[in-house]
Amino acid sequence: MSDAVVEAGADEVVDPAIRQWQELRAVIDGPLPEIATRFSRFLTRVWPHDALIIFTRECTGRPRKVAGDSAIVERVTIDELEVVKGDARRDAITRIDAVVGGARRPIRAVLDDTDTLLVVLPKTAVRPARTAGLAVGVSEDLMRSWFAIVATSIRQQVSQASPDYLAESRAASSERARTIAQLTEAHEDTLASILGTLRARDLDDRTARSAAADAASSALIALRGVGDTDRKLATEALATAFGRMQEELEPVLRHLDIDVEYVPPTGENRSLPGEIAYAARAIVRAAAVAFGAERRLARLRIAWDCRPDELVLDVRDQGAGEVDSDALARQLAGRLQTLDGRLEVESIPGWGSRVAVHLPLAIPGARPGEDLLSALNPREVEVLGHLALGRRNKQIATDLGVSESTVKFHVAAILQKLRVTNRGEAGLLAARAGITAS
């Protein structure tokens, strides 16, 4: 048989290149939380690696998506990835030594036009010549094209996020902000106490006291910076969110011969929760598409009003007044329900239409099951993924390389944290949130 084809069945053959693109489609077609794991499997034959990290601000709940050696990926920090991102080029694969997972390592970085970063740690067990590049037949341009497709898929999945994904992401953002605030307060108290002791006048060694005071002061500043960084990842500046909405609407409205007026919100120093910013853009885009389907559409006005407790999106037109309010309500129902939003649609034949959406800025009260997934640790999430596939304890133990009693312990903890009574209910929650095992 020719090298150009491989067996695909009794009566058909598939070109290896076609099979490769089919496999890439499987990477972007699965649940978003495991996209790094699927992309890692896809790359492993052409680019052997110990670990793979995808870093994107599109996902405020999970800015890091990781696969590979847990000793590395579980220690990767946002600050480390920001440094790598600053050194990465957009026009080529960047080869540098960088601190990743708490240690300096040789890495390969790819920065996509969507501002999404890929970090690959080449296999340490392979020959040095191979760690420097890709397998024969795979060019850097092809590698960057593959990642561009993955990065674009992540952006699209976030912008069109299901209610389950929004709820889970928002719960994760809330939990992260709460935890970092508690840690910051605790360490501030501790360091302030240390500073008070070191500054006491009855200490004799002034040089030692001064050096210790400087070190503690620096630690205090750095710790406060951690909270600032986390808040930046969990929120988006109001003006930035509105500007991105305009950019995203351009291809949607380009084909319409109409005047579009944008009314930006006041309060330049305000920020929005990340999920609110993404949802607002998606809602305005859906409304614009609905208005674009009208006859005799002449003008469109899009305004945001950021009030103390809510963000109001106002889209109105001068058209035939024929917006399908029922269809638009059905399209936005899941997202509005998740965010406790409220929709108003007015349409007057011959005069025009108006859509107003009210999105509360405070995190809504917990609904049954909404914030429970954030209580699971990484191993419990992994076990939950197996429950979603209906696997029994023995098979899970084999797949994870642990004892069956350990799996039983994790399952019991999962049922308790998710407040469900059996494995089936836990698996259903996992499936709805897109959590599944490899």
> What pLDDT digit, counting tens, does each position of 79-102 carry?
889 899 999 998 889 999 999 988
Total-model pTM: 0.48
Nearest residue to 283 via CA among 321, 337, 322:
337
Angle at 255 between CA 251 and CA 257, to 5 degrees: 125
Per-residue pLDDT for 51 more than 50? yes
Q: Count of CB atoms within 10 A of residue 325's CB?
A: 16
Give every CB contact of residue 125 below 8 A, 6+ residues apart in sequence: none
Q: What is the pLDDT of residues 365-378, one digit of tens each?
A: 444 454 577 678 77
Q: What is the pLDDT of residues 141-151, one digit of tens each?
A: 888 899 999 99
Between strands 6-7 and 103-111, the pairing is unpaired
Helix (H, G, I), strand (E, B) or coil at 311: strand
Contact 150, 55 (CB under 8 A): no
Q: What is the pLDDT of residues 274-283, one digit of tens each?
A: 778 888 988 8
Q: Count of CB atoms within 10 A of residue 357's CB?
A: 25
Whole-number mean pLDDT of the chain?
A: 77
For the sheet with 94-100, list strands across it.
64-68, 49-55, 117-122, 103-111, 94-100
According to DSSP, residue 414 is labeled H
Q: Which residue has the higher pLDDT, 294 or 308?
A: 308
Nearest residue to 155 via CA among 239, 58, 230, 252:
58
Per-residue pLDDT for 267 more than 80? no
- Report, as an integer, the average pLDDT of 198-219: 62
For residue 5, the model assigns a pLDDT of 43
Angle at 335 between CA 333 and CA 338, to 5 degrees: 105
- Which residue, chain included where needed, has tokens 């150009």? 4
Give every CB contact of residue 371 below 8 A, 6+ residues apart in sequence: 167, 171, 174, 175
Instruction: Please give the structure tokens belonging to residue 334.
Output: 């899941």
